[in-house]
Amino acid sequence: NYNFMAAIVNKYEDFYLEVSKNVAGGEPIITTYGVGGEHTAIGQMPATGTPIMYNAAYTGINAKEMGDSFATTLYAIDANGKVYRGETVVSSIKDFLIGKLNDSASIPEMKTMAVDMLKYGAAAQVNFNYDVENLVTADLTEEQLAYATQEIPEATDSFATSGSGANVTTGITVKSKVELNLSCISAGQANPAGVKCVITDSEGKTLAELPTTNMAGVMYSAKYDNVGAKEMRNLITATFYNEAGTAISQTIHWSVESYVAQTRAKTSATENEIAVVNAMLTYGDSVAAYLEASGQ
Protein backbone atom coordinates (compact mmCIF):
# COMPACT_ATOMS: atom_id res chain seq x y z
CA ASN A 1 0.00 0.00 0.00
CA TYR A 2 1.27 3.43 -0.99
CA ASN A 3 -0.05 6.53 0.77
CA PHE A 4 0.65 10.23 0.28
CA MET A 5 -1.00 13.43 1.43
CA ALA A 6 -3.31 15.18 -1.02
CA ALA A 7 -1.63 18.50 -0.21
CA ILE A 8 1.46 17.32 -2.12
CA VAL A 9 -0.40 17.33 -5.45
CA ASN A 10 -3.19 19.86 -4.86
CA LYS A 11 -1.46 22.70 -6.72
CA TYR A 12 -1.06 20.62 -9.89
CA GLU A 13 -3.51 19.95 -12.71
CA ASP A 14 -2.98 16.20 -12.61
CA PHE A 15 -0.84 13.54 -10.98
CA TYR A 16 -0.18 9.81 -11.12
CA LEU A 17 1.79 7.22 -9.19
CA GLU A 18 3.94 4.81 -11.20
CA VAL A 19 4.88 1.41 -9.76
CA SER A 20 7.46 -0.62 -11.67
CA LYS A 21 7.60 -4.24 -10.51
CA ASN A 22 10.87 -6.00 -11.16
CA VAL A 23 10.42 -9.50 -12.61
CA ALA A 24 13.27 -12.00 -12.30
CA GLY A 25 14.38 -12.92 -15.81
CA GLY A 26 11.77 -10.71 -17.45
CA GLU A 27 10.69 -7.16 -18.25
CA PRO A 28 9.38 -4.92 -15.46
CA ILE A 29 5.61 -4.62 -15.09
CA ILE A 30 4.52 -0.98 -14.88
CA THR A 31 1.24 0.08 -13.29
CA THR A 32 0.08 3.68 -12.97
CA TYR A 33 -2.47 4.90 -10.44
CA GLY A 34 -4.41 8.11 -10.82
CA VAL A 35 -7.78 9.82 -11.00
CA GLY A 36 -9.58 8.99 -14.24
CA GLY A 37 -8.01 8.46 -17.64
CA GLU A 38 -6.23 5.19 -18.37
CA HIS A 39 -4.79 4.89 -14.89
CA THR A 40 -5.70 2.24 -12.36
CA ALA A 41 -8.10 3.94 -9.96
CA ILE A 42 -6.43 5.46 -6.92
CA GLY A 43 -8.23 5.51 -3.58
CA GLN A 44 -8.82 8.57 -1.48
CA MET A 45 -9.51 9.20 2.19
CA PRO A 46 -12.17 10.15 3.04
CA ALA A 47 -13.91 8.21 0.28
CA THR A 48 -16.20 11.15 -0.52
CA GLY A 49 -15.65 14.88 -0.43
CA THR A 50 -12.30 16.63 -0.47
CA PRO A 51 -9.48 14.08 -0.14
CA ILE A 52 -6.91 14.42 2.60
CA MET A 53 -4.84 11.41 1.54
CA TYR A 54 -4.50 9.20 -1.52
CA ASN A 55 -3.90 5.45 -1.42
CA ALA A 56 -2.76 2.99 -4.08
CA ALA A 57 -3.05 -0.73 -3.32
CA TYR A 58 -0.84 -3.05 -5.37
CA THR A 59 -2.39 -6.52 -5.22
CA GLY A 60 -1.62 -9.93 -6.65
CA ILE A 61 1.96 -10.41 -5.44
CA ASN A 62 2.63 -14.13 -5.45
CA ALA A 63 4.48 -15.90 -2.65
CA LYS A 64 7.41 -16.63 -4.95
CA GLU A 65 7.76 -12.89 -5.66
CA MET A 66 8.54 -11.65 -2.13
CA GLY A 67 12.04 -10.71 -3.26
CA ASP A 68 10.94 -8.75 -6.33
CA SER A 69 11.57 -5.04 -5.94
CA PHE A 70 9.02 -2.30 -6.60
CA ALA A 71 10.22 1.10 -7.80
CA THR A 72 7.59 3.74 -7.02
CA THR A 73 7.56 7.31 -8.32
CA LEU A 74 5.01 10.10 -7.96
CA TYR A 75 4.53 12.39 -10.99
CA ALA A 76 2.64 15.68 -11.18
CA ILE A 77 1.70 17.83 -14.17
CA ASP A 78 1.16 21.60 -14.01
CA ALA A 79 -1.20 23.78 -16.06
CA ASN A 80 1.44 24.19 -18.78
CA GLY A 81 1.97 20.46 -19.17
CA LYS A 82 5.31 20.42 -17.39
CA VAL A 83 5.93 17.12 -15.61
CA TYR A 84 7.47 17.00 -12.13
CA ARG A 85 9.01 13.80 -10.85
CA GLY A 86 9.31 12.83 -7.20
CA GLU A 87 11.97 10.67 -5.62
CA THR A 88 11.85 7.00 -6.60
CA VAL A 89 11.45 4.63 -3.66
CA VAL A 90 12.53 1.00 -4.13
CA SER A 91 11.37 -1.74 -1.77
CA SER A 92 10.10 -5.32 -1.63
CA ILE A 93 8.02 -7.57 0.60
CA LYS A 94 11.31 -9.05 1.79
CA ASP A 95 12.59 -5.59 2.75
CA PHE A 96 9.42 -4.91 4.72
CA LEU A 97 9.68 -8.19 6.63
CA ILE A 98 13.40 -7.75 7.34
CA GLY A 99 12.52 -4.32 8.70
CA LYS A 100 10.05 -5.92 11.12
CA LEU A 101 12.70 -8.44 12.19
CA ASN A 102 15.18 -5.65 12.94
CA ASP A 103 12.64 -3.42 14.68
CA SER A 104 13.16 -3.47 18.46
CA ALA A 105 9.47 -2.66 18.87
CA SER A 106 8.36 -5.88 17.14
CA ILE A 107 6.93 -8.48 19.48
CA PRO A 108 8.28 -12.06 19.18
CA GLU A 109 5.12 -13.24 17.40
CA MET A 110 5.65 -10.59 14.72
CA LYS A 111 9.22 -11.77 14.19
CA THR A 112 8.09 -15.40 13.96
CA MET A 113 5.45 -14.43 11.43
CA ALA A 114 8.01 -12.49 9.37
CA VAL A 115 10.50 -15.38 9.23
CA ASP A 116 7.79 -17.97 8.52
CA MET A 117 6.44 -15.78 5.73
CA LEU A 118 9.90 -15.49 4.18
CA LYS A 119 10.38 -19.26 4.45
CA TYR A 120 7.04 -19.69 2.67
CA GLY A 121 8.30 -17.36 -0.06
CA ALA A 122 11.55 -19.30 -0.42
CA ALA A 123 9.70 -22.62 -0.59
CA ALA A 124 7.49 -21.16 -3.34
CA GLN A 125 10.57 -19.96 -5.23
CA VAL A 126 12.01 -23.48 -5.17
CA ASN A 127 8.71 -25.15 -6.05
CA PHE A 128 8.08 -22.87 -9.03
CA ASN A 129 11.79 -22.55 -9.96
CA TYR A 130 11.66 -18.76 -9.70
CA ASP A 131 14.84 -16.77 -9.06
CA VAL A 132 16.21 -19.61 -6.94
CA GLU A 133 19.66 -18.01 -6.99
CA ASN A 134 18.25 -15.29 -4.73
CA LEU A 135 16.10 -17.01 -2.13
CA VAL A 136 14.44 -14.51 0.20
CA THR A 137 15.81 -16.40 3.22
CA ALA A 138 19.43 -16.38 2.00
CA ASP A 139 20.43 -13.29 3.99
CA LEU A 140 18.78 -14.25 7.29
CA THR A 141 21.11 -14.64 10.24
CA GLU A 142 21.05 -17.58 12.64
CA GLU A 143 19.54 -15.27 15.23
CA GLN A 144 16.73 -14.29 12.86
CA LEU A 145 16.11 -17.87 11.74
CA ALA A 146 15.77 -18.88 15.38
CA TYR A 147 12.41 -17.03 15.44
CA ALA A 148 11.00 -19.43 12.83
CA THR A 149 8.51 -22.12 13.76
CA GLN A 150 10.67 -25.20 14.18
CA GLU A 151 8.08 -27.97 13.83
CA ILE A 152 6.02 -28.98 10.82
CA PRO A 153 2.37 -28.26 11.68
CA GLU A 154 -0.19 -31.01 11.95
CA ALA A 155 -2.89 -31.06 9.30
CA THR A 156 -6.18 -32.98 9.36
CA ASP A 157 -8.21 -33.68 6.24
CA SER A 158 -11.74 -32.59 7.15
CA PHE A 159 -13.04 -32.45 3.60
CA ALA A 160 -16.57 -33.84 3.38
CA THR A 161 -19.77 -33.63 1.35
CA SER A 162 -23.37 -33.47 2.51
CA GLY A 163 -26.81 -33.09 1.02
CA SER A 164 -28.04 -34.22 -2.37
CA GLY A 165 -27.69 -32.92 -5.88
CA ALA A 166 -24.82 -32.63 -8.32
CA ASN A 167 -21.31 -33.51 -7.27
CA VAL A 168 -19.05 -30.51 -6.64
CA THR A 169 -15.56 -30.70 -8.11
CA THR A 170 -12.82 -28.73 -6.36
CA GLY A 171 -9.39 -27.58 -7.41
CA ILE A 172 -6.77 -25.38 -5.78
CA THR A 173 -4.62 -22.65 -7.28
CA VAL A 174 -1.90 -21.18 -5.06
CA LYS A 175 -1.01 -17.70 -6.30
CA SER A 176 -1.01 -14.51 -4.28
CA LYS A 177 -3.93 -16.12 -2.47
CA VAL A 178 -5.20 -19.66 -2.08
CA GLU A 179 -7.96 -19.90 -4.68
CA LEU A 180 -10.64 -22.57 -4.39
CA ASN A 181 -12.01 -23.46 -7.83
CA LEU A 182 -15.50 -25.00 -7.74
CA SER A 183 -17.70 -26.53 -10.40
CA CYS A 184 -20.75 -28.73 -10.79
CA ILE A 185 -22.76 -30.18 -13.68
CA SER A 186 -26.51 -29.59 -13.61
CA ALA A 187 -28.58 -29.71 -16.80
CA GLY A 188 -31.95 -28.11 -17.37
CA GLN A 189 -31.63 -24.93 -15.34
CA ALA A 190 -34.25 -22.40 -16.50
CA ASN A 191 -31.91 -19.44 -16.05
CA PRO A 192 -28.22 -20.38 -16.16
CA ALA A 193 -27.22 -16.77 -15.46
CA GLY A 194 -29.05 -16.95 -12.13
CA VAL A 195 -27.02 -19.86 -10.74
CA LYS A 196 -24.70 -18.83 -7.91
CA CYS A 197 -22.30 -20.50 -5.49
CA VAL A 198 -22.79 -19.60 -1.83
CA ILE A 199 -19.85 -19.80 0.59
CA THR A 200 -20.56 -19.99 4.32
CA ASP A 201 -18.46 -20.43 7.44
CA SER A 202 -18.79 -23.32 9.88
CA GLU A 203 -21.56 -21.49 11.74
CA GLY A 204 -23.63 -20.90 8.61
CA LYS A 205 -22.76 -17.22 8.14
CA THR A 206 -22.66 -16.26 4.46
CA LEU A 207 -19.16 -15.24 3.41
CA ALA A 208 -19.80 -14.75 -0.30
CA GLU A 209 -22.36 -15.24 -3.05
CA LEU A 210 -20.34 -15.93 -6.16
CA PRO A 211 -21.63 -15.53 -9.72
CA THR A 212 -20.93 -18.55 -11.88
CA THR A 213 -19.56 -19.09 -15.35
CA ASN A 214 -21.66 -21.43 -17.47
CA MET A 215 -20.23 -23.79 -20.07
CA ALA A 216 -22.33 -25.67 -22.61
CA GLY A 217 -25.44 -24.95 -20.57
CA VAL A 218 -24.62 -27.62 -18.00
CA MET A 219 -21.37 -26.85 -16.17
CA TYR A 220 -21.21 -24.07 -13.58
CA SER A 221 -17.91 -22.76 -12.21
CA ALA A 222 -16.95 -20.27 -9.51
CA LYS A 223 -13.79 -19.19 -7.70
CA TYR A 224 -13.41 -18.29 -4.02
CA ASP A 225 -10.19 -16.47 -3.12
CA ASN A 226 -10.94 -14.79 0.19
CA VAL A 227 -9.34 -17.18 2.66
CA GLY A 228 -7.27 -15.02 5.00
CA ALA A 229 -3.89 -16.25 6.18
CA LYS A 230 -5.17 -16.69 9.74
CA GLU A 231 -8.17 -18.69 8.48
CA MET A 232 -6.36 -21.61 6.86
CA ARG A 233 -7.71 -24.07 9.42
CA ASN A 234 -11.28 -22.76 9.30
CA LEU A 235 -13.84 -24.96 7.55
CA ILE A 236 -16.02 -23.32 4.93
CA THR A 237 -18.90 -24.77 2.92
CA ALA A 238 -19.84 -24.26 -0.72
CA THR A 239 -23.18 -24.98 -2.42
CA PHE A 240 -24.55 -24.11 -5.85
CA TYR A 241 -28.09 -22.64 -5.98
CA ASN A 242 -30.44 -21.85 -8.84
CA GLU A 243 -32.25 -18.56 -9.33
CA ALA A 244 -35.13 -19.69 -7.09
CA GLY A 245 -32.71 -20.33 -4.21
CA THR A 246 -32.92 -24.13 -4.43
CA ALA A 247 -29.71 -26.08 -3.96
CA ILE A 248 -28.71 -27.88 -7.16
CA SER A 249 -25.53 -29.42 -5.77
CA GLN A 250 -24.19 -31.16 -2.76
CA THR A 251 -22.47 -29.07 -0.10
CA ILE A 252 -18.73 -29.43 0.31
CA HIS A 253 -16.89 -28.76 3.58
CA TRP A 254 -13.33 -27.55 2.91
CA SER A 255 -10.32 -25.81 4.42
CA VAL A 256 -6.75 -24.99 3.41
CA GLU A 257 -5.65 -27.32 6.20
CA SER A 258 -7.54 -30.14 4.46
CA TYR A 259 -5.81 -29.28 1.19
CA VAL A 260 -2.42 -29.47 2.92
CA ALA A 261 -3.29 -32.88 4.41
CA GLN A 262 -4.45 -34.13 1.00
CA THR A 263 -1.26 -32.92 -0.67
CA ARG A 264 0.85 -34.72 1.90
CA ALA A 265 -1.11 -37.92 1.27
CA LYS A 266 -0.78 -37.83 -2.52
CA THR A 267 1.72 -40.35 -3.81
CA SER A 268 2.38 -38.10 -6.82
CA ALA A 269 3.24 -35.03 -4.70
CA THR A 270 6.85 -33.93 -5.03
CA GLU A 271 9.09 -33.00 -2.13
CA ASN A 272 8.94 -29.35 -3.22
CA GLU A 273 5.13 -29.36 -3.39
CA ILE A 274 4.88 -30.76 0.11
CA ALA A 275 7.45 -28.26 1.38
CA VAL A 276 5.51 -25.28 0.02
CA VAL A 277 2.14 -26.34 1.48
CA ASN A 278 3.80 -27.05 4.82
CA ALA A 279 5.38 -23.58 4.77
CA MET A 280 2.04 -22.04 3.79
CA LEU A 281 0.20 -23.61 6.73
CA THR A 282 3.05 -22.70 9.09
CA TYR A 283 2.78 -19.09 7.93
CA GLY A 284 -0.99 -19.16 8.45
CA ASP A 285 -0.57 -20.39 12.01
CA SER A 286 2.01 -17.66 12.65
CA VAL A 287 -0.35 -14.96 11.40
CA ALA A 288 -3.10 -16.25 13.69
CA ALA A 289 -0.71 -16.30 16.66
CA TYR A 290 0.53 -12.77 15.92
CA LEU A 291 -2.99 -11.34 15.57
CA GLU A 292 -4.05 -12.97 18.83
CA ALA A 293 -0.97 -11.72 20.67
CA SER A 294 -1.45 -8.17 19.36
CA GLY A 295 -5.14 -8.13 20.17
CA GLN A 296 -6.35 -7.98 16.58
Round to the nearest angstrom and report the end-to-end CA distance of the chain: 19
Residue 60: per-residue pLDDT: 85
Q: 3-class SS at 184?
A: strand
Please say whether the beta carbons of 164 and 246 come within 8 A: no
Please say whether the beta carbons of 261 and 169 come within 8 A: no
Would you give the DSSP letter of residue 36?
Answer: S
Residue 174: per-residue pLDDT: 78
Q: How many CA atoms lie within 13 A of 201 on its CB side?
A: 10
Residue 200: per-residue pLDDT: 96
pLDDT tens profile 13-62: 999 999 999 999 899 999 999 988 889 999 999 988 899 999 999 988 99
Please state whether the predicted TM-score (pTM) of the whole model is above 0.85: yes
295 has pLDDT over 90:
no
**Strand 251-254 relative to strand 236-241, pairing:** antiparallel
Sign of CA dihedral 229, 230, 235, 239: negative
Dist. CA 272–CA 126, nearest whole Å: 7
pLDDT tens profile 251-291: 999 999 999 999 999 999 999 999 999 999 999 999 999 99
- The count of other CB atoms within 10 Å of the CB of residue 74 is 21
176 has pLDDT over 80:
no
Dist. CA 41–CA 150, nearest whole Å: 42
pLDDT tens profile 133-150: 999 999 999 999 999 999
